[in-house]
Amino acid sequence: MKYIDSHCHLNMDELAGNLGAVLRSARESNVLRLLVAGFDEPSSAKALALAKSHVAEGVFAAVGIHPHDAKTCPLGRLPENMSAWVRDERVVAIGETGLDYHYDLSPRELQRECFRQHIALAARTAKPLVVHVREAYDEALGILRENAAGKNGGVIHCFAGEWRHAVESLDLGFFVSFAGPVTFPRSTVLREVAARVPLDRLLCETDSPYLAPQPWRGKPNQPAYVSAVYETIAEVRKIPVETLAEQVWQNAARLFGWGV
Ligand SMILES: [Zn+2]
Ligand SMILES: [Zn+2]
């Protein structure tokens, strides 16, 4: 059995401080491909450095500016370095980018402009987008549609929307990725969505160090725990976890072009 973790933050201190053990435990748990997502300029540089130095462990990078950090991009313009980083073969996606209206840590107009700039960069470099959305699904999906973002595809990471948002994401050509919350007892709606998304458009992730799945909820999360996400989704879909893992492996290879 081979798992992928389609979104984690080995570039954050919680995991970077313990990297050897975290990667060893991932490998022991058969997590053989990991996508490290950047969220600001330094963490994007770090994601790329990790991908370059941990090729054997299956580490790849996405570079981007999280909507929380859009305020670090004057007028929404991306850091100069970004276009060079994106061209590196270890960078398989652009993100995370998107809209987060829950915390509003950056002004919304800046979040929107920064998001559009990522979409434009994805169009120029033909790489898929890693999209973060919180309490802004209609608007984020609208921006993706207006800017023809489906062309190079992407993923709505840590999906937490309603079924209609999943339908629209799929319609745009996006994948839908589920994280720890799908395992939480109260996430009935999310599990229903996870049961209905077409099997060939689904991904699994940890978003570690955040959002540890059951039974580790409340503890620091790590890529090794992604198996709990797969197990929950396999259970609600009434399929063997091996079947799900194999399909998700193929899906990620198709989206990120990192080989099978
Ligand atoms: Zn996110
Ligand atoms: Zn993230």
* pLDDT tens digits along 91-143: 999 999 999 999 999 999 999 999 999 999 999 999 999 999 999 999 999 99
What pLDDT band is residue 159 in, cutting at 50, 70 and 90?
very high
In Å, what is the CA distance from 235 to each residue of 12, 244, 255? 31, 10, 24
| CA–centroid distance, residue 149 to ligand 1 (Å) | 18
| CA–centroid distance, residue 248 to ligand 1 (Å) | 19
Q: Are 122 and 155 in contact (CB under 8 A)?
A: no
pTM beyond 0.85:
yes
Sort strands 91-100 and 59-63 into parallel, antiparallel or unpaired. parallel
| CA–centroid distance, residue 132 to ligand 1 (Å) | 5
| CA–centroid distance, residue 144 to ligand 1 (Å) | 16
DSSP letter at 18?
Answer: T
* pLDDT tens digits along 20-69: 999 999 999 999 999 999 999 999 999 999 999 999 999 999 999 999 99
Residues 6+ positions from 176 with CB-CB distance below 8 Å: 155, 156, 159, 166, 169, 170, 193, 197, 201, 202, 203
| CA–centroid distance, residue 66 to ligand 1 (Å) | 7
Q: Where are the domains of the chain?
A: 3-256
What average pLDDT does range 177-198 have in this prediction? 98
What average pLDDT does range 199-221 have in this prediction? 97
- As to burial, measured by CB atoms within 10 angstroms (0-12 exposed, 13-18 middle, 19+ buried), residue 56 is exposed
| CA–centroid distance, residue 96 to ligand 1 (Å) | 6
Class (C level, CATH) for 3-256? alpha beta
